[in-house]
Amino acid sequence: MIFARVASEVIDPAEVLARVGSDRDGATLLFLGVVRDHADDRPVSGMRYDAYEEMAGEVLSKIAAEAAERLGTDRVAVVHRFGELAIGEVSVAIAVSSPHREEAYEASRYVIEQLKERLPVWKKEHYVDGVSEWVEGNVPPGTASGAEPVAVGVAVGTGGDA
């Protein structure tokens, strides 16, 4: 079955993994996106994820359905978290299964790459030095992609790299 969810609760990878797999499947893959302790060379102490929750749930469901179509089966599960996350916490879990490994790898990769392009979710890195900044992101396809105005003060992202 296809499962997609955007939620604030801690992600249990085993629970996501348990949503895929069948007697027909010889390959099961679990991908975890995890909060790491640095951005380039700058030490990071944690991350805040914001979400346009209602829309993000819909977009994630679409992405999972597209991945399932590529996989040729319906065994795709993805959960994305929002809220304040500590180093080592899981921000996204993607589980897929298929008879052979090629389709599973392709579908898993499709979900993570597409959600980075399209999911209305944002992350703010908290640095060890006490500063926090929104991470530069991607302008989603199907929208205007004008440059950000020349900002006085804090930059909000490049806005032009989609």
Residues of this chain that bind another protein (CB under 8 A): 33, 49-50, 52, 54-56, 58, 80, 91-92, 112, 115-124, 134-149, 151, 154, 156-159, 161-162
Closest to another protein by CB, 21 vs 156, is 156
Distance CA 61, CA 121 (A): 14
Shortest Å distance, C-beta 25 to another protein = 25
Nearer to another protein, 73 or 93 (CB): 93
Nearer to another protein, 56 or 73 (CB): 56
- CA quadruple 101, 102, 103, 104: dihedral, nearest 10: 40
Neighbours of 84 (CB within 10 A): 12
Nearest-approach distance from CB 89 to another protein, in angstroms: 14
Q: Which residue's structure tokens are 């392009």? A: 117
